[in-house]
Structure 1
Amino acid sequence: MDRRRFLAHSSIVLMGSSFLGCLSNSRPTLKKNQVIGCLGDSITYGNKQGYVELLQKHYTANHPEMSLKFGNWGKSSETVTGLTEEHHPGPRPYLFERLDTLLDNEPVDIITFCYGINCGIYGPPSQALFDSYKTGIYTFLEKIKQRNITAILLTPPPLVLDVAPISPNTQETSYGYRNPYPKYDEEVLQEFKKIVLDFHHGSVMGVVDINTPLYKNRADCYDTDPIHPNTKGHRLIADTVIEYFGI
């Protein structure tokens, strides 16, 4: 059994008890000297000029006494489902191929977690896909639970094909990032959003919806790329997280 199948099998066996855990309704607070690792795909990576760096600038400028450190752990193309579309240039990175090493070498108190836009590999919905996404989130949370780390889950951002359309590639016969399923946002990402918002686990200290404000302001937050927010979009993500923490 390969590693991806092993993780999926193990997680499904244990998942039922996890969903019975408590998720606090109180808003989480940041404490002095905390290290926050920011996990995600290329949207989190943001060429090291995105929302993670904006969060660091905000807290350094406005709350220097807290000495907070934000680490950018984003990796382009990564998923938590372990899937890759047919025409992708090589296998997509899979979070669980690097997570243990990352956690062993980077002391951290809190992790922000933002995955989803790549996780459905831009194809149609299915129950197997949604279960795989749930399993990925659960596996991540179980791993950080073992290390007494807590998480802030961020909903996946939208795919804004109405603002920045992608011309279908007639040479490709299957869906992918260059030729997405037309209703990927409505039928896949919106379900991923619900999964994140409804996810209960003892390691989750909070959930932040970045999908809704990005979609509402999509005309300003995206340019020619329907996947990656522009500078205004990253600013909106950072502001949404800052507002959530209240400082």
Structure 2
Amino acid sequence: MRIQFIFFLLLGLLSISYLSVRGQVRHKPEIWDAAGPILFLGNSITYSGQYVAMTESLLLTSHPKKSPMFCNLGLPSETVSGLSEPNHADGKFPRPCLFDRLDHVLDKIKPEVVFVCYGMNDGIYLPFDSSRFEAYKVGILRLHERLQKAEIKRIIWLTPPVHDDLRLRTAGYNQVLDRYADWLMAEAVKNSWEIIDLHFPMKGYLEQQIKVDSTFKLATDGVHPGTLGHWLMAKAIIAHLLPKMVLEPTWDEQLSRYAKLERLYPLVLKRQTIMKDAWLTHTGHKRPGMTKGLPMAQAYRLYQEIKSKIADL
């Protein structure tokens, strides 16, 4: 009887603990209910914007009456580690560091939700080195502390995408990214951070495709994924946010599945493209060669015009 009592007591305690955790999860603000902007921080993969636009488009498909502003502030070449190769960009400029602009971004955008995707550039495309790894870890922890200080309601970490250099494929630099992704996921578990793994699902997909076709690539230049790669990233995000949504193997198939998505997505991508350059110019950065954005008032008028077209759908 005593053993049976202890068993049911433990079961009851576990149930209370589970309900408590579930309650905490339920109190997180849903992405589509965000009153403030949803900010994406990252490097050139984020700046290119397809996975961000795919994510917003599918959230609009699921919740058409909700329309939080998605702010893509990815910056090409950027790191959180502050590291750079001596000959980066043929020696024209060092890699920019997020912390050179982060305060301005947070102060001017005042986001409610932040997605973070770094790591690809932080290993500097060299073999694993403990000092570079430490710089990446310090950067991530510093970023988390700064986002907490800004009272961001929901921080969502993304592991770095797969590296797809035809000479090295899933070995080589991916072994560096494997360790970065492993550490980030372990840190998330340890500190109860919210995290979505992009790296290992993309790597697994790449490995399977290589078995069928040795010339298959997700990224022509090894770094920047094409439409399929961005769709794999968006799929992981949507599966996390909307687990009941049916997600097809390719973006073209996804466009065919949902009515009006084929017309919605180009509009979302267009307004994100307008706004990302406007926001980058408005908030400031140290990277040369970027497109100068429109003045914010003009960009926002165009945003509203496109928003009206989206509402008509």
| Structure number, greater radius of gyration | 2
Shift of 1:134: 0.8
Shift of 1:239: 1.2
For residues 1-247 of structure 1, the aligned pairs below 5 Å read: 26=25, 29-30=30-31, 32-34=33-35, 35-46=37-48, 48=49, 50-89=50-89, 90-149=93-152, 150-161=154-165, 164-165=166-167, 183-186=172-175, 188-200=176-188, 205-218=193-206, 219=209, 222-246=218-242
Point out the structure with the larger strand share.
1
Using a 3 Å threshold, how does the CA distance of structure 1 residues 198 and 223 change in structure 2: closer, same or farther? closer
CA–CA distance in structure 1, aligned partners of residues 59 and 127 of structure 2: 40
8 Å contact from structure 2 (residues 32, 63) kept in 1:
no
CA–CA distance in structure 2, aligned partners of residues 202 and 104 of structure 1: 29
Point out the structure with the larger helix share.
2
Equivalenced residues, count: 205
Using a 3 Å threshold, how does the CA distance of structure 1 residues 91 and 231 change in structure 2: closer, same or farther? same
Identity %: 34
> Normalized against structure 2, the TM-score is what?
0.60
8 Å contact from structure 2 (residues 44, 74) kept in 1:
yes
Name the aligned partner's letter for residue 103 of structure 1: L
CA–CA distance in structure 2, aligned partners of residues 71 and 55 of structure 1: 12
SS in 2 for 1:82: coil
SS in 2 for 1:64: coil
Shift of 1:242: 0.7
8 Å contact from structure 2 (residues 56, 70) kept in 1:
yes
1:4 maps to which residue?
none
SS in 2 for 1:195: helix
After superposition, the C-alpha distances for 1:192-240 in whole angstroms (9 at most, x for unaligned) are 0011101249996510000112112224661422111110111111111
> Normalized against structure 1, the TM-score is what?
0.75
SS in 1 for 2:70: strand
8 Å contact from structure 1 (residues 44, 72) kept in 2:
yes
Name the aligned partner's letter for residue 53 of structure 1: A
RMSD: 2.5
1:173 maps to which residue?
none
8 Å contact from structure 1 (residues 45, 72) kept in 2:
yes
SS in 2 for 1:144: helix
Using a 3 Å threshold, how does the CA distance of structure 1 residues 200 and 235 change in structure 2: closer, same or farther? closer
CA–CA distance in structure 2, aligned partners of residues 104 and 228 of structure 1: 29
Shift of 1:183: 2.0
Shift of 1:66: 2.9
Shift of 1:185: 1.1
> Higher relative contact order at CA 8 Å, sep ≥6: structure 1 or structure 2?
1
SS in 1 for 2:40: strand
2:278 maps to which residue?
none
- Structure 1 gap ranges (5+): 1-23, 167-181
